[in-house]
């Protein structure tokens, strides 16, 4: 046990203070106690602590007052809040106020010790004993239910790699893989760093292919649980009749074909993070069971008579509007409030098109490395310009697929517009004209010199290609703006650009109304 951790326990009931104090002293922590908000603040003004554990209801205020003071003072203490049983609103309010985690009364002491250890980053309890990777595929006995027989044939869902294995496999962690420096991505990164400090559930909202799982991995890796398991589950990919056994596991003999114990997703993510992708596809019956497991921090495997405690952080994601799903009666309101403590919106690619070049470069480096291609090919100016005009309904996932195909077709150190295979129907005539204006530049840069004896003269090469290309783009922007009387929306539409993209290019190239004169 370590004596480097000091705790402040705040509760107005002396018996409970004594119980918490004795429990934590046995774990080797230094302890101070307080019975009111004012006493707690007096202690905090005199010294700092590793963590503060406070009841929600106090004689002269609330545990939220203590959390607010810690936040206002910029203190580093982790805060744990104890709420009355069944008071979900208080728990959510505490998490939003910056609490690392919460406990409900009556407090389970084993869970109490586990949550405190997790908050302090101490080694968590050992995860449940692993089970074989796959159940024996024996034929179901006569009369077995189809769902039971199918479940017995299901291979065990392996947990996703731990942080060390992710880094070994990709050469970089998830946060570094979030390429781009747009305002939208800077905000996402800032939220990742902030929410990683607590146990608060996070709901990731965004279109398919935007990288919601990558954001979830980044939250996990930055958190104190980063070295533990990260288990990702696609809720829409599991047959409804198998959901309970897949999530909570089952016991030997629970049904025909259940020949041995098997852990579920919750047990596999013990002490780590459980990522529930496409949570909006979960049936209502399973939503109720999931809510209970989240609230009680325990699961009961199919065929078991007792619940087993689990220590899991929940991250979830959806492309649906869960608020509308709640209104339509397809999603439980209480589960929505429990999951939506903190929401992070992952922007579509079309809203951060200025990041496209950096994303494409990062993706090409990765797929080239995986394919054993060196050096990684680069996009030509015309190829990048064409990609910037493509709407990307599949977002970053679609970009990766395009670049995989282009890498296979290019066969050289450059990927041109033709290698991308984008249909011309996606580009109008003005867009194609803008692309055509760039083609002679690429041709001039790569064309072989004309022999003097043939009577031709070799064209001069630009001294600074980037500046030269910027001037060409600037000229095209000015022509479009002049043609549309400096209506940026209309000029952008003529070039296949959104107003956001038009503003970005104008700012980068210094184009303004005064430029036209």
The Cα-based distances of 80 to 24, 65, 66, 106 in angstroms read 14, 13, 11, 15
What's the distance, CA 218 to chain centroid? Answer: 6
What is the pLDDT, as a whole number, of residue 4? 80
Please report the sign of the dihedral spanned by the C-alpha atoms of residue 161, residue 162, residue 163, residue 169.
Answer: negative
Domains and CATH numbers, the chain: 6-119 (3.40.50.2300), 146-345 (3.40.50.300), 351-452 (1.10.8.60), 462-517 (1.10.10)
Cβ neighbours around 75 below 10 Å, total: 14
The Cα-based distances of 277 to 206, 236, 491 in angstroms read 11, 8, 40
List, as one string, the DSSP characters of 4-45: --EEEEE-S-HHHHHHHHHHHHHTT-EEEEESSHHHHHHHHH
| Partners of 308 in beta bridges | 299
Question: What does the block give as tokens for 441?
Answer: 């530049």
In this structure, the dihedral spanned by the alpha carbons of residues 99, 100, 105 and 110, taken in order and rounded to 10 degrees, is -160
Report the distance separating Cα 122 and Cα 451, nearest Å.
74
Question: What does the block give as tokens for 387?
Answer: 């990609």
Report the distance separating Cα 60 and Cα 41, nearest Å.
12
What is the pLDDT, as a whole number, of residue 34? 94
Report the distance separating Cα 367 and Cα 157, nearest Å.
26
The Cα-based distances of 439 to 90, 501, 502 in angstroms read 62, 21, 21
Taking a C-beta distance cutoff of 8 angstroms, is the pair 351, 395 a contact? no
Report the distance separating Cα 196 and Cα 216, nearest Å.
10
Q: What's 377's DSSP letter? A: P
Q: Which long-range contacts (CB under 8 A, 24 or more apart) does 75-78 make?
A: 75/44, 75/48, 76/48, 77/8, 77/44, 77/48, 77/49, 77/50, 77/51, 77/52, 78/50, 78/51, 78/52, 78/119, 78/120, 78/197
Is the pTM above the cut of 0.75? no
pLDDT digits (tens, 9 = 90+) for 345-382: 999 999 999 999 999 999 998 888 887 878 888 998 88
Taking a C-beta distance cutoff of 8 angstroms, is the pair 82, 105 a contact? yes
Report the distance separating Cα 507 and Cα 517, nearest Å.
17
Report the distance separating Cα 336 and Cα 513, nearest Å.
48
Total residues belonging to the chain = 517
What is the pLDDT, as a whole number, of residue 48? 93
Report the distance separating Cα 16 and Cα 57, nearest Å.
13
What is the pLDDT, as a whole number, of residue 280? 94
Taking a C-beta distance cutoff of 8 angstroms, is the pair 173, 221 a contact? yes
Cβ neighbours around 349 below 10 Å, total: 25
What is the pLDDT, as a whole number, of residue 467? 80
- Asked if residue 44 has a cis previous peptide bond (ω within 30° of 0), the answer is no
pLDDT digits (tens, 9 = 90+) for 146-158: 444 444 444 333 3
What is the pLDDT, as a whole number, of residue 515? 55
What is the pLDDT, as a whole number, of residue 458? 63
What is the pLDDT, as a whole number, of residue 135? 32
Burial of residue 421 (number of CB atoms within 10 Å: 0-12, 13-18, 19+):
exposed
List, as one string, the DSSP characters of 78-106: EEEEEE-TT-HHHHHHHHHTT-SEEEESS
Find the largest Cα–Cα distance for the chain.
103
Report the distance separating Cα 300 and Cα 316, nearest Å.
21
Report the distance separating Cα 233 and Cα 395, nearest Å.
21
Ranges in the chain, pLDDT < 50: 1-2, 124-172, 425-439, 441-447, 454, 516-517
């Amino acid at each position: 046990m370590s004596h480097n951790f000091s705790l402040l326990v705040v509760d107005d009931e002396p018996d409970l203070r004594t119980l918490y104090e004795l429990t934590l002293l046995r774990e080797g922590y230094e302890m101070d106690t307080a019975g009111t908000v004012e006493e707690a603040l007096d202690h905090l003004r005199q010294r700092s602590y590793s963590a503060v554990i406070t009841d929600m209801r106090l004689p002269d205020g609330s545990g939220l007052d203590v959390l607010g003071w810690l936040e206002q003072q910029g203190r580093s203490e982790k805060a744990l809040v104890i709420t009355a049983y069944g008071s979900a609103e208080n728990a959510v309010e505490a998490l939003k106020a910056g609490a690392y985690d919460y406990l409900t009364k009556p407090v389970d002491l084993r869970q109490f010790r586990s949550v405190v250890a997790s908050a302090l980053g101490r080694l968590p309890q050992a995860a449940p004993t692993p089970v074989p990777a796959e159940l024996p595929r024996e034929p179901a006995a006569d009369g077995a239910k189809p769902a039971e027989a199918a479940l017995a044939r299901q291979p065990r869902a392996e947990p996703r790699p731990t942080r060390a294995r992710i880094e070994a496999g990709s050469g970089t962690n998830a946060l570094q893989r979030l390429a781009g420096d747009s305002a939208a991505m800077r905000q996402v990164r800032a939220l990742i760093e902030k929410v990683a400090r607590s146990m608060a559930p996070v709901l990731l909202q965004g279109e398919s292919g935007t990288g919601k799982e990558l954001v979830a991995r980044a939250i996990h890796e930055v958190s104190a649980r980063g070295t533990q398991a990260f288990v990702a589950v696609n809720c829409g990919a599991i047959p409804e009749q198998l959901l309970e056994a897949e999530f909570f596991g089952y016991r030997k003999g629970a049904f025909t074909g259940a020949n041995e114990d098997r852990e579920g997703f919750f047990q596999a993510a013990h002490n780590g993070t459980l990522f529930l992708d496409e949570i909006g596809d979960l049936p209502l019956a399973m939503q109720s069971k999931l809510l209970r497991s989240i609230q009680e921090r325990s699961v009961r495997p199919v065929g078991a008579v007792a619940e087993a405690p689990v220590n899991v952080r929940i991250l979830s994601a959806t492309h649906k509007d869960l608020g509308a799903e709640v209104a339509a009666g397809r999603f439980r309101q209480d589960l929505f409030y429990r999951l939506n403590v903190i929401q992070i919106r992952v922007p579509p690619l079309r809203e951060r098109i200025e990041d496209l070049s950096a994303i494409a470069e990062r993706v090409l480096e990765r797929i080239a490395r995986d394919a054993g291609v060196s050096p990684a090919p680069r996009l030509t100016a015309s190829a990048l310009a064409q990609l910037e005009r493509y709407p990307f309904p599949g977002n970053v996932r679609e970009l990766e697929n395009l670049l995989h195909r282009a890498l296979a077709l290019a066969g050289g150190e450059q990927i041109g517009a033709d290698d991308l295979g984008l249909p011309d129907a996606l580009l109008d005539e003005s867009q194609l004209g803008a692309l055509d204006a760039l083609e002679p530049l690429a041709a001039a840069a790569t064309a072989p010199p004309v022999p003097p004896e043939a009577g031709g003269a070799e064209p001069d090469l630009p001294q600074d290609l980037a500046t030269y290309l910027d001037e060409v783009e600037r000229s095209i922007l000015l022509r479009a703006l002049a043609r549309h009387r400096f209506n940026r929306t209309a000029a952008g539409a003529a070039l296949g650009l959104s107003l956001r993209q038009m503003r970005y290019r104008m700012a980068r190239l210094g184009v303004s109304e005064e430029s036209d004169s």
